[in-house]
Structure 1
Amino acid sequence: MNKPQRYIAHFDLDSFFVSVEVLNNPALKDKPVIVGGSRERGVVAACSYAARKFGVHSAMAMKKAMQLCPQAILVRGTRGEYSRFSRWVTEIIAAKAPLFEKASIDEFYIDLTGMDKYFDPYQWTIDLRQEIIDKTQLPISFGLSSNKLVSKIATDEAKPNGYIFIQPGRERDFLAPLPVNKIPGVGESTFITLKEMGIKYIGDITKKSADEMEKKLGKWGADLWQKAHGIHHGEVHSYHEAKSISTENTFETNTADVEFLLSELVRMTERVGYELRQDEKLAGCIAVKIRYPNFDTTSRQTTINYTLRDDELIFAAKDLFHKLYKKGQPVRLLGVRLSELTNHAVQASLFDDGEKKNNLYKAIDDVKNKFGKTFLQKGRTVRKEKE
């Protein structure tokens, strides 16, 4: 029995942060806008197409960006709004798509395989895009093809605010004339090596043998050879696959010591934060659970800006605890849960000192991975030994 033809759509909200800012302030439309942190130490989180014409791009140091485009309008960013719009688009897609993956705060894959028995996948995708635009007013592009890789590359070619369908069997022809660094994962180092091999366009790779590519670049070379031929077997992973990360602790002795309870709350939040980063996820919701000696259990949750940072998670957890805890009552169990998980979006954490913070957490996690999760703890979580 023949396998059904695969159809994978890739959606990407165009200059997402900038688009949200323009919706909230229409005077920014068509202007060179940069969303990010401070002029001296910040990093570009996103920029408008007008700013890109000057060579500005995301993840660039703000200082350099302002040198390239001194007339740019700098917006510090309203992260809560980005989370809100991201959830809105997610809800629209979830209501229609049979299977979708939220790859980041502004990027989605939809598996339409088998739907061609009932209607045209291309028209269905066009209609969904239009619904998103009509409801949110956000520009969004998509690529549709037989696999995730080609669809993602097609989306980049469709921008801004457009769409492309690569017919099954036409993947290699579509890729051939594109620069080789259009393939995700081809960084500056690999790009230089490929140029030294006489490879400038994706089609140049197809003129080499798989063995030749592997000999020069190892397994990555063989993988590149397959990608250049439009071959990619990555699956669309359901957005609901990873529902939550949680931890809880039942105390040996019931306690009403608030300082102790808060130190435990911080410790547990750090633990789930660590697991979140190991899974390369962001959390959009946090919950705290308290159980009393009579087994009366209460919990409270709140939506948060998508994050992976302990300090932001701890702030939200402590706020929930103070709203939830019955003063003076001993506690039997305490728990913390992170939910609304989505894949790690680098651009979601590029504001202000975001890069510095992220490097700090990476260093902390590296130490924990080497010496154990409890090797580093916040001062508050380390209880003093009795003298």
Structure 2
Amino acid sequence: MGQHETYRDTENGALEWKGPAIGLLDLDAFFASVEQLDHPDWRGKPVIVGGSSKKRGVVSTASYEARRFGVHSAMPAFQAERLCPQAIWTQGRYERYHEMSDIVMSFLLDETPLVEQVSIDEAFFDVTPGRFSRENPVAICARVQARVAELGITCSIGVGPNKTVAKIASEQEKPRGLTAVWPGTERKFLAPLPVGAMSGIGTATQAKLEGMGIKTLGQLSRLSCTDAQRMFGVAGPRMVMRAAGLERSAVAAAAEHEVPKSVSNERTFGEDLINEDEVKAAVMHISGLVGRRLRTKGLKGRTVTLKLKYDARTGHTAQAALPSRTDQESVFGREALRLLPQIWSPGMKVRLLGVGVSGFDEAEPVQLGLFQTDQEVRDEKAERLAAATDALKARFGDDSVRYGRDLRFDGRVSDTQPMNKEKF
């Protein structure tokens, strides 16, 4: 366990923690670890969860055995196959991963009600002494880590006075790491680390900082707030404060039925779409997937986003506000089609296409009319049809009712299993 000692409990000889204690639990190579747990003969072997190279698949997670060959998340499958030809590939079973994730999160909730899950395999938690327990935060983290290990998977935990320190600490000794950054040692811990170690600093910001001669978080912490704001806008001073370990962050307890900020779906196509009819059909096909998820969750949004990728690296998005909140693909899908000319022209190749809906709590104007327009009548019929097809799919399965726009993409999308695109 990594420790940065400052305080000692003179009564029992154990280190004493004074002040906020925020942890970050990160499940190690989570998807691949679950697969190795459920397939004992895969243990100790390189395992890759992702889609095949024949359908432009990407790596979702690689076991540590595969990582030794240079394989990592988001890597194109064809590249991973070259690096580790002996790897065992599986498309993944996300219901199983969610089941295991829920169990791990329950371990955290046994220790504190302040648990903020940020992804299927990561969560912040508050174990500040005296808030819900007088126990040493490191002892609590060790107990959680042991309980996770009993499941047959592992996790790494970082604990420190704030979220930034906890997140960076969790990445220091993976896998099975437990790194504690004790109050008063934050700056010493952060100073030698590269600026890229801090979340929120992407490649462009890192390059800009390095152009200024700033390569470590210690150097960044000495940048004046005036210069930081001039170079990076309003986010600059906060970036400097975080680099100095001075962030003050709170862990928000998740609401029982937390509302996401957005719901979206995207698909990568085995072969590029070029034909205008096919691109438009893809927009409506993916809108239909989003619409059903919205209705299942009881959400209606007022902002629609269209995302296109033309190749592995290049893409654009367009966004528009709707007159009122909706969960109907006939409405937000139509708006997505209107956005299409902003970021695509006939003849351009489309590798990936996504549609998202957000603005679930946005205010909307109230307009009263005496008569329905023709479009409103069509939308009302589409809403009734959507409700009927949702009911049939819920009872007989997703393939029980399908539109032509869906059938035309059978076997033409990447077999990388998409995670639910819900952002909180």
- Under a length normalisation based on structure 2, what TM-score does the superposition of the two structures give? 0.60
Q: Distance in 1 between matches of 2:221 and 2:102?
A: 40
Would the alpha carbon gap of residues 167 and 159 (structure 1) be closer, same or farther in structure 2, given more than 3 Å must change? same
Q: Distance in 2 between matches of 1:157 and 1:131?
A: 21
Q: CA deviation at 1:92?
A: 2.2
Structure 1 position 167 matched with structure 2 position 165: no
1:311 matched residue in structure 2: 289
Q: Secondary structure at the match of 1:12?
A: strand
1:368–1:376 contact (8 Å) kept in structure 2 = no
User: What amino acid sits opposite 1:61 in the alignment?
Assistant: P
Q: CA deviation at 1:8?
A: 0.6
Q: Distance in 1 between matches of 2:291 and 2:95?
A: 14
2:32 matched residue in structure 1: 18
2:229–2:235 contact (8 Å) kept in structure 1 = yes
Structure 1 position 127 matched with structure 2 position 125: no
Would the alpha carbon gap of residues 145 and 280 (structure 1) be closer, same or farther in structure 2, given more than 3 Å must change? farther
Q: Distance in 1 between matches of 2:27 and 2:202?
A: 23
Q: CA deviation at 1:110?
A: 1.1
2:129–2:137 contact (8 Å) kept in structure 1 = no
2:223 matched residue in structure 1: 208
CA RMSD across the alignment: 3.4
Q: CA deviation at 1:370?
A: 5.4
Q: CA deviation at 1:313?
A: 7.7
Q: Distance in 2 between matches of 1:100 and 1:130?
A: 18
Q: Distance in 2 between matches of 1:145 and 1:53?
A: 29
Would the alpha carbon gap of residues 212 and 337 (structure 1) be closer, same or farther in structure 2, given more than 3 Å must change? closer
2:110 matched residue in structure 1: 95
Counterparts of 1:236-255 in structure 2, within 5 Å, are 236-239=251-254, 241=255, 243=257
Structure 1 position 180 matched with structure 2 position 187: no
Would the alpha carbon gap of residues 62 and 204 (structure 1) be closer, same or farther in structure 2, given more than 3 Å must change? same
Selected match of 2:262 from 266, 273, 278: 278
Selected match of 1:369 from 321, 328, 340: 321
Deviations 1:258-290 (A, max 9, x none): xxxxxxxxxxxxxxxxxx452799xxxxxxxxx
2:42 matched residue in structure 1: 28
Selected match of 1:50 from 30, 40, 65: 65
Q: Secondary structure at the match of 1:214?
A: helix
Structure 1 position 109 matched with structure 2 position 124: yes
Q: Distance in 2 between matches of 1:126 and 1:313?
A: 43
User: What amino acid sits opposite 1:170 in the alignment?
Assistant: T
User: What amino acid sits opposite 1:369 in the alignment?
Assistant: A
Q: Secondary structure at the match of 2:252?
A: coil
1:12–1:141 contact (8 Å) kept in structure 2 = yes
Unaligned runs of 5+ in 2: 1-17, 266-285, 300-308, 311-315, 335-377, 383-424
Q: CA deviation at 1:382?
A: 5.7
Structure 1 position 7 matched with structure 2 position 21: yes
2:24–2:158 contact (8 Å) kept in structure 1 = yes
Q: Secondary structure at the match of 2:69?
A: coil
State the identity %: 33
Q: CA deviation at 1:235?
A: 1.5
User: What amino acid sits opposite 1:121 in the alignment?
Assistant: P
Q: CA deviation at 1:181?
A: 0.3
Equivalent residues, number: 285
Q: CA deviation at 1:159?
A: 1.0
2:116–2:253 contact (8 Å) kept in structure 1 = yes
- Under a length normalisation based on structure 1, what TM-score does the superposition of the two structures give? 0.65
Q: Distance in 2 between matches of 1:310 and 1:163?
A: 44
Q: Distance in 2 between matches of 1:227 and 1:233?
A: 9
2:356 matched residue in structure 1: none
Q: Distance in 2 between matches of 1:27 and 1:39?
A: 24
User: What amino acid sits opposite 1:311 in the alignment?
Assistant: L
Q: Secondary structure at the match of 1:211?
A: helix
Q: Distance in 2 between matches of 1:64 and 1:38?
A: 11
Q: CA deviation at 1:337?
A: 4.1
1:244–1:338 contact (8 Å) kept in structure 2 = no
In terms of fraction of residues, the more helix-rich structure is 1
Unaligned runs of 5+ in 1: 246-275, 282-307, 318-334, 340-354, 357-361
1:115–1:121 contact (8 Å) kept in structure 2 = no
Would the alpha carbon gap of residues 156 and 311 (structure 1) be closer, same or farther in structure 2, given more than 3 Å must change? same
Q: Secondary structure at the match of 1:192?
A: helix
Q: CA deviation at 1:45?
A: 0.8
Deviations 1:318-362 (A, max 9, x none): xxxxxxxxxxxxxxxxx85469xxxxxxxxxxxxxxx99xxxxx9
